């Protein structure tokens, strides 16, 4: 499943810089994650890098966007074709 950023976000920019898919964007007042680009770092890392660097632990799984590892891998492969 894709990730979401909760209202606890402090807009520190740490997560945006870490995202290999450029799925995290500035928004007002908190950052947002583009579910079409978020692969939870499948294809890049073992764990989502944004979660690891978030100082306030405000990045969680999005219960409205359930995807299994196979679907995340497919999304990663499609994103690679765009580059």
Global model pTM greater than 0.85: yes
Domain coordinates in residue numbering, the chain:
3-82
Q: How far is CA 31 from CA 18, 21, 39, 61, 75, in A?
A: 13, 15, 17, 15, 22
Tell me the three state secondary structure of residue 3: strand
Banded pLDDT at 82 (limits 50, 70, 90): confident
Backbone angles phi, psi at 40, to 5 degrees: 55, 30
- Range 3-82 classified under CATH 3.30.70.20: yes
- Calculate the alpha carbon distances from 3 to 47, 49, 71, 81 in Å: 12, 11, 14, 22
C-beta of residue 2 within 8 angstroms of C-beta of residue 33: yes
Tell me: the pLDDT tens digits for 15-65? 999 999 999 999 999 999 999 999 999 999 999 999 999 999 999 999 998
- Contact assessment for residue 38 and residue 3, using Cβ atoms and an 8 Å cutoff: yes
């Amino acid at each position: 499943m894709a990730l979401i950023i909760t209202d606890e976000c402090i807009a520190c920019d740490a997560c945006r810089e870490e995202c290999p898919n450029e799925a995290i964007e500035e928004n007002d007042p908190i950052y947002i994650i583009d579910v079409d680009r978020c692969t939870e770092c499948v294809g890049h890392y073992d764990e989502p890098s944004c979660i690891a660097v978030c100082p306030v632990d405000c990045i969680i799984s999005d219960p409205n966007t359930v995807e299994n590892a196979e679907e995340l891998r497919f999304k990663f492969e499609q994103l690679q074709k765009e580059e």
